[in-house]
Amino acid sequence: MSRSKWSWAIVVASSLSAFGCTTAVDDGVTDEETEPTASSTSEELTVSCTRHAETGYVSGSAKALTAVTVDGKLVEEHTANAYIVMAQAAKKDGIYLKVVSGFRSMAEQKYLYGCYTHCSCNSCNLAAKPGYSNHQSGHALDLNTSGSGVAHWLSLHAAHYGFKRTVPSEAWHYEWWGGGPGGGPCH
């Protein structure tokens, strides 16, 4: 990973390390633990378009991708642009979207899978086999769907921005595979 100093500052400021056992880097069941509250100052959408060369995985095979930083999390750049356009629209409606988990490195996915298989951390939450998560392919984002009005807003508007809920049991897990109005700040 090649996070800039600035990105790290954002990560530290906005959430705990992605490797802690109590953070929300799984497929979202622990979203509540890091949920921004009404009194938090995290309504601001924070974006850094600094590009990071990362190794993603698709069906077990390594694939180079570029990630930028949104809400302190690495997010694949095309997914990030689509998300940012959506988050800005939500904000106009008074709804504050947050990325709880975006792109995951192999190390992060291995950690989460280990938690799941050993039931030793991360609340024993389900995690995809390393190399097979769409958080590794760059298409998946876990969003703050327990935030005020967020799940409802997404149910009405996410499709317009190209985002789809793809895991029926996970209200927070959205994927972007293209579509939506285009635009976004990172190029």
Taking the C-alpha atoms of 98, 40, 148 and 31 in order, what is their torsion angle to the nearest 10 degrees? 50
Radius of gyration of the chain (CA): 15
Out of 173, 176, 184, 186, name the contact with Zn ion by CB under 5 A.
173
Which range touches Zn ion (CB under 5 A), out of 45-53, 71-79, 124-132, 136-144? 136-144
Give the number of C-alpha atoms closer than 13 A to the C-alpha of residue 50, restricted to the C-beta side: 15
- The size of the chain, in residues, is 187
Smaller CB separation from Zn ion, 29 or 49: 29
Give me the 92-131 binding string for Zn ion, x by CB under 5 A, dash otherwise: ----------------------------------------
Smaller CB separation from Zn ion, 22 or 166: 166
Under the binding rule (CB under 5 A), the answer on residue 27 touching Zn ion is: yes
Smaller CB separation from Zn ion, 16 or 126: 126
Out of 31, 35, 77, 142, name the contact with Zn ion by CB under 5 A.
142
Of 17, 94, 117, 1, residue with least CA distance to 50: 1
Smaller CB separation from Zn ion, 165 or 173: 173
What is the torsional sign of CA 174, 176, 182, 187?
positive
Q: What are phi and psi of 55, to 5 degrees?
A: -100, 110
* Chain positions contacting Zn ion, by CB under 5 A: 27, 140, 142, 173
